[in-house]
Amino acid sequence: MRLDGPVLIVTRDVAAPIVDELCAAIDSGAVPAVPLEAPAVLRSTAPAAVVVLDTAGCDEAADELTAAVLTAEHFVPLIRRWSVDDAERIATLWLAADAGVQPILAALARANRVRTLLLETQRRRRIARAAALKTPALPDPWSAVRDIAVLVIDNGTILPLVAPICAARGLSMVGAPTTTLAGTYLELRHFDALVIGPSIDTLSADSFLAWLRDDPRWADLPAFRLVEDPLSEPAFAAPTEVLGLHDPRFAAAFHAAACLNAFAALLPSVIQDMHGAGLADPDSGLLWPEAFRAGLIQAMAWSDANGRDFTALRIATDDGRPLPHGVPRMVACLLRRSDLVTRIDDGLMLAVLVGTEPDAAQRVATRISRVLSHTVLAETGQIAPRIEVACLTAEPNEAPQAFLARLTSPDEGESLAAAG
């Protein structure tokens, strides 16, 4: 796993095996620290995330760490393993008290996707401000988002457990007695978390969650399966947790996960508002070329500062003909909301894959190429042109202008994935 900075691991025992395993698994670096040293380490290293394994008996240091996270320049996800001592403290995500390496890495990946989207939103605000465009206010990742909605799938058994939590924390709740009805509700409105009660049998729950994770709209929707005996349940598609009906962690974990999902859902609308104010083409939704160039310069500076590779895609027809009408919007849909996408002219599109390693960028290029090659792109009476998707990586210390020139000009030596 590689984030945009090191991960601060807070524990009373920095020599514990799990610390070594996390350090080995996190390519961007991990910094173990005892609770008393953690606040100072956070301020000096500016980590991409904080993982709290154990702070028992160090209340003052734990409070100081929380304050340091809240006042950090950028959003720093705070992942905590459950502890009664920390129950009243904030967390981006709450994990089981004995959570191992894989659940921690999965939580870091989920939180980092939100952080990446937030950082890109902030970059676009700077671009919009430089162009004297209207810039909407950014939501606070540590303040409770309004109108958080949760979907409870059950015949009523767990309502006495879930309803008080929702009422106390200001969440709205919608109930569905079957997974079929729940699927209909998901199509009709946005939800920030899902709870599946014991009245839904294991097979139905498994099938429903598998269907949920196969759809990119709900791939990150947090789900909680509440049953009498958690050990009897299978490993459901992530991010799904199986908890006992009276697990003390449920309220905190459920609320934190719903808040993170609600915050992530707000950011695309902030970006859309800036696009509507003049940052992007209203017809295609793609950034105007000048805004793209400004974003590329900022993204390259961020990559250099964090020791990350900088990758981009060049999408064009091989014979110079205009791209088919549906290609720009299709490419924009295939890329992440944090990526920068523009159309330079009728026959050329560019995309910056923010924070993506070259190998992953090449896989993205291949996927886009495959999708375009299997989609009817030609207008009536015309033959679909051959479309090439080139993946380029910036050279060390390469100037943004030089990289942009390379990106806009075809080069036989670049890695190509042809479609058509």
Query: Which CATH number belongs to the domain containing residue 354 in this structure?
Result: 3.30.70.270
Q: What are phi and psi of 162, to 5 degrees?
A: -85, -40
Kindly state whether residue 142 falls inside one of the protein's structural domains. no
407: part of which helix (H) or strand (E)?
helix 400-408
Residue ending a domain, choose from 264, 290, 313: 264
pLDDT at residue 420, as a whole number: 41
Residues 192 and 250 in one domain: yes
Residue identified by tokens 């709450």 is 94
Q: What angle do CA 323, 329, 357 make, to 5 degrees?
A: 95
Residue identified by tokens 């610390």 is 19
Kindly state whether residue 123 falls inside one of the protein's structural domains. no
Residue ending a domain, choose from 232, 264, 296: 264
pLDDT at residue 382, as a whole number: 55
CB 80 within 8 A of CB 53: no
Residues 391 and 322 in one domain: yes
Residues 78 and 50 in one domain: yes
CB 65 within 8 A of CB 38: yes
Kindly state whether residue 274 falls inside one of the protein's structural domains. no
* Cα 366 from chain centre: 21
Q: Looking at the whole model, is its pTM more than 0.85?
A: no
pLDDT at residue 6, as a whole number: 93
Residues 310 and 408 in one domain: yes
Kindly state whether residue 218 falls inside one of the protein's structural domains. yes
Kindly state whether residue 272 falls inside one of the protein's structural domains. no
DSSP string, 326-386: THHHHHHHHS-TTSEEEEEETTEEEEEETT--HHHHHHHHHHHHHHHHTS--PPTTSPPPP
pLDDT at residue 282, as a whole number: 78
Tell me which residue range forms the domain holding 357: 280-419
Residues 287 and 243 in one domain: no
Residue ending a domain, choose from 103, 118, 133: 118
pLDDT at residue 383, as a whole number: 59
Residues 284 and 414 in one domain: yes
Task: Give the pLDDT of the chain (420 residues) as one tens digit per residue.
Answer: 788 889 999 999 999 999 999 999 998 899 999 999 999 999 999 899 999 999 888 889 999 999 999 999 889 999 999 988 888 899 999 999 999 999 999 999 999 999 989 988 998 898 888 778 888 888 888 886 778 999 999 998 899 999 999 999 999 999 999 999 999 999 999 999 999 999 999 999 999 999 998 988 898 899 999 999 999 998 887 789 999 999 999 999 999 999 999 999 999 889 888 888 888 887 777 899 988 998 899 899 988 887 889 999 999 987 778 888 788 888 888 888 778 999 998 889 999 998 888 998 999 999 998 888 776 444 434 556 778 899 999 999 899 999 999 998 765 444 444 444
Residues 171 and 235 in one domain: yes
Residue identified by tokens 């992440």 is 336
Residues 210 and 302 in one domain: no
Could you give the number of structural domains in the chain?
3
Kindly state whether residue 127 falls inside one of the protein's structural domains. no
Q: For residues 149, 150, 155 and 159, what is the CA-based torsion angle, rounded to 10 degrees?
A: -90
Q: What are phi and psi of 242, to 5 degrees?
A: -105, 120
DSSP string, 117-138: HHHHHHHHHHHHHHTT---PPP
Q: What is the CATH number of the domain that holds 208?
A: 3.40.50.2300
Residues 69 and 29 in one domain: yes
- Residue of 53, 146, 57, 138 lying closest to 94 (CA atoms): 53
Residues 239 and 290 in one domain: no
Residues 256 and 284 in one domain: no
Q: What are phi and psi of 411, to 5 degrees?
A: -140, 125
Residues 347 and 387 in one domain: yes
Kindly state whether residue 132 falls inside one of the protein's structural domains. no
Kindly state whether residue 29 falls inside one of the protein's structural domains. yes
